[in-house]
Structure 1
């Protein structure tokens, strides 16, 4: 198996290192990731400046690895279309530090990288550790091997990826594995206003998560209850059941 690994935390993040080390037993590893932190870049691509890809020594491992000046989506496109000469079997994005749950997947560079893999026709998986403090990636990295083995025997449908979130706890404290839908995440106090030394306002985007009611069956519910969540995502955003209603509006140019 030939595995492409990327992330949005940057190529020197601990999560991508642990993922690559774990998946090594599954086959050949190729690491192509941003040269710095690129979280919350969504599906952005670089069009108005050149991309640079530097072949690097990946920690203490003898993997083919490139640090790329662009976004996570750039990394997947560049890897598959230019850098990696072998045909890739599967794309893994992660392990992200922090969750990618519910509607936050629309902002996530981690998930967007996996989406790009799926767009290009490859099985793809986004993996996130659902915490920011005292993180331990070992359980998540081990679980990725299980997922890679299953997908190799059970191919995903076209245009589909798996978004996986894993509790930050010991293996014995995980209560199970749930197949879920995306929940809803909203934020309050999203912008913090501050004043710079010249008296001008500037803003930091932050905010607190609003505790929306996410019922059993959603990824958010599963993580709150110490279960691994696996959400199949299809990137066709068409609202099919609204098509006929919109047709009835008979919208015309006047």
Structure 2
């Protein structure tokens, strides 16, 4: 009998979030599960790490048959501690992050703690996937995601991923049946941000970030299009942020130094 794959599960919504519970339950069907997740919500943390203060890592028992730890740090801290202190360098076969309450499509991938945890897994050369659902509520229904999560993970374990590449997977809500899986690119879309200015009881101004999501991309091969048409979007992403196409242009500049 082949050995079960070892799977690291992380998230950014916190260790008690319903999304990670769903992900844990699906991963238990595939392999041996270790969970390291923040002790509270860490949404929008991006690739932040904790410097200058101690990190806490406490073993807890929430789900039977799962090796589980809560961490005082960021989602990326969780992956770093898992690799170094729990797996002790004997890296897991798969790192999965989520399932996030809210989409991480288009530009959101830059800010996402969910995706940054998966990116850190890829930096460690672990096949990694971030999962997100188009529902911000704590009562979100993840049931329609389960079979897709399992299949995508099994395919990743079977086929592996190119070095430095991870998957960003986003699910539509369950308002109607899913149309299937679409491999696509990140859309050219972003938030038009505004800061609502308010006054606190001490008469001091403060600001609350708001905004409207604007899609400037009309292509039918983007993650935004896929989700609008009720597909599960799967985007291969990478942590190498070099603009390779711009190198030849910059080499033509005449620097006078």
Normalised to the residue count of structure 1, the TM-score between the two structures is 0.94
1:189 shift after superposition: 4.5
Report the CA distance shift for 1:189/1:236 in structure 2 as closer, same or farther (over 3 A): closer
Q: 1:236 is matched with which residue: 231, 234, 240?
A: 240
1:93 aligns to 2:84 (yes or no): no
1:161 aligns to 2:166 (yes or no): yes
**Unaligned runs of at least 5 residues, structure 2:** none
1:1-254 matched pairs, under 5 angstroms? 1-58=5-62, 60-85=63-88, 87-133=91-137, 135-169=140-174, 173-253=177-257
Task: Tell whether the 8 Å contact from 1:214 to 1:220 is kept in structure 2 after alignment.
Answer: no
1:144 shift after superposition: 1.4
Where has structure 1 moved over 6 Å in runs of 4 or more? none
Task: Tell whether the 8 Å contact from 2:196 to 2:209 is kept in structure 1 after alignment.
Answer: yes
1:12 shift after superposition: 0.5
Q: Count how many residue pairs are aligned between Structure 1 and Structure 2.
A: 251
1:31-62 per-position Cα deviation (integer Å, ceiling 9, x unaligned): 0000000000000011111110011112x423
**Unaligned runs of at least 5 residues, structure 1:** none
Instruction: Identify the range of structure 1 (209-218 vs 150-159) with the bigger mean alpha-carbon deviation.
Output: 209-218
Task: Tell whether the 8 Å contact from 1:182 to 1:218 is kept in structure 2 after alignment.
Answer: yes
RMSD across aligned C-alpha pairs, in angstroms?
Answer: 1.5
Task: Tell whether the 8 Å contact from 1:164 to 1:228 is kept in structure 2 after alignment.
Answer: yes
